[in-house]
Amino acid sequence: MMKVLFVCLGNICRSPAAEGVFLHLLKERGLSNQFLVDSAGTGGWHVGNPADRRMQAAANRRGIQLPSRARQISFDDFSEFDLVLTMDNANLTAVQSLARKAGARATAMIQPMLSYAHRFSETEVPDPYYGGEAGFEHVLDLLEDACVNLLDELSPQA
Ligand code: 4NP
């Protein structure tokens, strides 16, 4: 069982979308039982909330559901998960700092999500929260690209 955690700032837009896109791909490929997938935020403002309704609407238009309820990342996540994927550079810095504080139990590998993108050269998933509709679509375009390549890499035999 491979355990993957997607992380952004609020855990209501980008990382719930990444989680939903990845879960959707797993279902399509019949690999759902081989992965545990979750998302979390470096911030705690939205804890308990469902994904932003604009993010959900954009995902639903692509046939993707976003089951996430927001939670804040914890020290335990760095021992519980194999892979932690961050959406932007601020998330990456915050997560690396937390992992250092978690000490030797922090065994998870930490990587930028877009290190898996092939079709796009951007290195960060932009925060769509204060922008328009197009921002949410672009987040999904980036995440679909990265998720396909991530899964190809994690399940080369499938
Ligand atoms: P996310 O977007 O990090 O993609 O979930 C955000 C949503 C809300 C806030 C920040 C980022 N906020 O500060 O309320």
pLDDT of residue 156: 74
Ligand 1 atom at minimum distance from 70 CA: 5
Active site residue 38: no
Residues 6+ apart with CB under 8 A from 60: none
Question: Nearest residue CA, atom 6 of ligand 1?
Answer: 10
From the list 108, 110, 58, the residue with the least C-alpha distance to 89 is: 110
CATH class of 2-154: alpha beta
Q: Which of 8, 13, 145, 147 is catalytic?
A: 8
pLDDT single digits (tens) 37-54: 999 999 999 999 999 999
> How many whole angstroms separate alpha carbon 151 and alpha carbon 158?
9
pTM recorded for the entire structure = 0.97
Encoded tokens for 50:
């469902």
Strands (E), 97-155: 109-112
Ligand 1 atom at minimum distance from 45 CA: 14
